[in-house]
Amino acid sequence: MSSGDPTVRVRPPDVVVVVLDTARLDVLSGGLAAAPGQTFLDELRAQCWVHPRTIAPAPWTAPSHASLFTGLPPWEHRLHLKGLPKLAPGSTTLADSLRAIGYRTASFTTNNFVGPLTGLHQGFEDWWVGGKQDWLLRGFRGPPTEASTRRSGSNLARIATFGLQEPVWSWIARWPRPVDKIAPLLNGRKRGPAGMRVAPWIEGELRSWLAGIPAERPAFAFVNFMEPHEPYFGILPTPGDGPGRAGPWTGAVRQDSSNWAIGSWSPSDEELASMRRAYDETFRTLDDRLRDLVQLLRAAGRWENSLFVLTSDHGQAFGEAGVLFHGLRTAESLLRVPLWIRPPHGVDVPLPREDWISLAALRPAIEAMVAQVSGDVRGDPRAAPGGNGRAAAPVVAIADGLGGIVRSRVPARRLAELDRLEVCGYLGSRKLTMDVATEHCSRVDLDSDPKGEHPQEVVPSGELDEVFQALRSAARLAFPDASGAGATVDSRLASWGYV
Using 50, 70 and 90 to split pLDDT, how confident is the model at 164? low
Superfamily of domain 15-385: Alkaline Phosphatase, subunit A (3.40.720.10)
Q: Could you give the maximum distance between any two Cα atoms of the chain, in Å?
A: 68
Helices (H), 237-361: 257-262, 269-299, 332-335
Task: Give me the pLDDT at residue 42, please.
Answer: 98
The Cα 348–Cα 453 span in angstroms is: 36
With pLDDT > 70 as the criterion, what percentage of the chain qualifies? 75
List beta partners, residue 145.
129
What's the confidence (pLDDT) of residue 356? 96
pLDDT (0 to 100) of residue 395:
96
In this predicted structure, what is the pLDDT of residue 445? 96
Average pLDDT over residues 260-273: 89
> Is residue 221 within 8 Å of residue 145, measured between CB atoms?
no
pLDDT attached to residue 26: 96
Least confident range of 38-42, 119-123, 188-192, 312-316: 188-192
Q: What angle do CA 400, 405, 408 make, to 5 degrees?
A: 85
Helices then strands, counting H and E runs in the chain, come out as 16, 16
Q: What is the pLDDT of residues 425-477, one digit of tens each?
A: 999 999 999 999 999 999 999 999 999 999 999 999 988 999 999 999 999 99
Distance CA 335, CA 471 (A): 16
Q: pLDDT over 90 for what percent of the chain?
A: 57
The answer to which of 78-82, 145-149, 297-301 has the lowest mean pLDDT is 145-149
pLDDT at position 314 is: 98
pLDDT the model gives residue 133: 63
3-state secondary structure of 20: strand
Q: What is the DSSP letter of 413?
A: H
Mean pLDDT of the residues in the chain: 83
**Predicted confidence (pLDDT) at residue 273 exceeds the cutoff of 50:** yes
Q: Among 80-84, 305-309, 384-388, where is mean pLDDT lowest?
A: 384-388
Q: What tens digit of pLDDT does each residue of 70-91 get?
A: 999 999 999 998 899 999 989 9
Of the two residues 233 and 322, the one the predictor is more confident about is: 322
Whether the pLDDT of residue 495 is over 70: the answer is no
pLDDT tens-digit profile of 245-259?
444 434 567 888 888
Higher-pLDDT residue of 204 and 2 is 204
Nearest to 196, CA basis, from 214, 216, 218, 180: 180
At 403, phi and psi to the nearest 5?
A: -135, -170
pLDDT tens readout for residues 22-62: 999 999 999 999 999 999 999 999 999 999 999 999 999 99
| Burial class of 452 by CB neighbour count within 10 A (0 to 12, 13 to 18, 19+) | buried
Q: What is the pLDDT of residue 488?
A: 46
pLDDT digits (tens, 9 = 90+) for 165-190: 555 656 666 666 565 555 555 554 44
Cis peptide before 343 (omega within 30 of 0): no
Paired sense of beta strands 49-55 and 336-342, if any: antiparallel
List own/partner pairs for 436-439 with CB under 8 A and 24 or more apart: 436/475, 436/479, 436/482, 436/483, 436/487, 437/482, 437/483, 437/484, 437/485, 437/487, 437/488, 437/489, 437/492, 438/485, 438/486, 438/487, 439/472, 439/483, 439/484, 439/485
Mean pLDDT, rounded, for 10-30: 96
pLDDT value at residue 10: 83
